[in-house]
Amino acid sequence: MNQIISFFTTLGLLLTAAVLHAQPSPGSDHVDVTLISDTSVISPGDTATLGFHMVIEEGWHTYWKNPGDSGIPARVSWSGADGFETGDILWPWPETFQEEHLITHGYKLETLLIVPFSADADLEAGSYELTASLEYLVCEKVCLPAFEEHTITVEVGSETEYHSDNSALVARFKEKLPETDHVLEPAFTVDEGNVLLRLTGDLASLGDFNPDAITFYGYKDDMIEPSAPQEAQLADDALWVKLRQSRYASGTLSELSGVLVIRTKSGVRALDINASH
């Protein structure tokens, strides 16, 4: 029942946001957002990176692409982008938050929502403005919607030049994107709502890790139950992760996709997992 109440509370916040869009954005008081590019000049036909750098007030958090038991992920739409192509948000791996009995996924203190973009091959040199309409939810004991517009000037020239400070920031958060080129092979089975993920391959490449320090985050909310306990163990030359199918799943899972976050003694690895049943 509380999850249902949380859902309708969040829905009400978003509907209110539509009415208040021309008024001050309440959530913006708790998050400082800057739209950046890793280039100072981009050449026609080249690809670079935009990013929404979010500095979040201590005690507050925003949400990942699958927020978990409650919450809403950030959304962005672009205008004035003729001559440019912008991609979907690339999400750094999230953290887990417990809000009473609810489990949510998101970010605290700082994150960078990464957006790849490219300049058309026939684009003429000059200055161009891209404007982003950004909506997100930020929560502490209460949740507040934020709706903001951010504009960035993009310089197009004969040769791409990288912005040193922004490039370092983008590189730091790109290291938090799930690895797609790892050597592990995933498979899974489902039995009475229990999902057993099996990973085989070069497990030694993961480094020295404790199975208790592993978390799987499903990319969609109809895959894995966020508040259910997860268990991982090494056995039979495989890494096994026991999960619980989401209460919102329609039938038995036919695919399982998400990010597996592995905390090792030397840092954190995040692996992009895609398996068919």
Domains 2-174 and 185-276 share a fold: yes
The ranges assigned to domains in the chain are 2-174, 185-276
pLDDT of residue 264: 87
DSSP string covering 55-103: EE-TT-EEEEEEEESS----EEEEES-TTEEE-PPBPPP-EEEEETTEE
N-terminal to C-terminal alpha carbon distance within the chain: 32
pLDDT of residue 83: 94
Which residues of the chain are under the pLDDT cut of 50?
Answer: 1-22
| Chain segment 85-140, per-residue pLDDT in tens | 999 999 999 999 997 889 999 999 999 999 999 999 999 999 999 999 999 999 99
Q: What is the CATH class of 185-276?
A: mainly beta
Select from 148, 176, 149, 145 the least CA-distant residue to 71.
145
| Chain segment 46-67, per-residue pLDDT in tens | 999 999 999 999 999 999 999 9
pLDDT of residue 248: 85
The CATH number of domain 2-174 is 2.60.40.1250? yes
